[in-house]
Amino acid sequence: MATNRTFTMIKPDAVEAGNIGGITKMIEEAGFKIVAMKYTRLSPEIAGKFYEVHSERPFYGELCSYMSSGPIVAAILEKDNAVEDFRKLIGATNPADAAEGTIRKIYATSISANAVHGSDSDENAEIEGNFYFSELERH
């Protein structure tokens, strides 16, 4: 059964471009409630741990160095059917394939600088939220 939470990061390209506000506004207007939020910067090691599931992929090194290249905003979002609805809101991983009106279509510039991350399953949403936020912060 779908849970009601997902996890997101606003990536370094979007933070650097001053799009935290625009992206957060789209998230809230789509009906998601922000239940935890953190502005932080990842070390390459922490980025590597977060993306460990991709460690065999050819783009893993690039992904980890990119995600540690500047500050990010991590958040836990709440809504019915959160994981699936959020993936619809952000659009395809590659902005060239993202549908009109999606966050990546509007804000992303490339497959690696793709503005936002969104969990791909309920299980990963929980793992990823727990990675960034302590029990106290994700009440």
| Residues classed as catalytic | 117
Whose CA is closest to 10, among 113, 102, 84?
Answer: 113
63 near ligand CMP, judged by CB under 6 A: yes
With CB under 6 A as the contact rule, which of the stretches 22-30, 32-40, 42-50, 57-65 interacts with ligand CMP? 57-65
**CB nearer to ligand CMP: pick between 56 and 135:** 56
Q: Which of 62, 80, 97, 123 binds ligand CMP (CB under 6 A)?
A: 62
97 near ligand CMP, judged by CB under 6 A: no
23 near ligand CMP, judged by CB under 6 A: no
User: What binding mask, one character per residue, do residues 100-119 give for ligand CMP by CB under 6 A, x or -?
Assistant: -----------xx-x--x--
Residues whose CB falls within 8 Å of the CB of residue 51, separated by 6 or more in sequence, listed in order: 60, 63, 64, 67
For 39, the token pair is: 């502005």
Q: Are 42 and 50 in contact (CB under 8 A)?
A: yes
For 33, the token pair is: 């409630």
Task: Give min distance, CB of 123 to ligand CMP, in A.
Answer: 15
The span from the first CA to the last CA of the chain, in angstroms, equals 21
Whose CA is closest to 9, among 123, 84, 90?
Answer: 90
| Binding residues vs ligand CMP (CB under 6 A) | 54, 59, 62-63, 93, 111-112, 114, 117
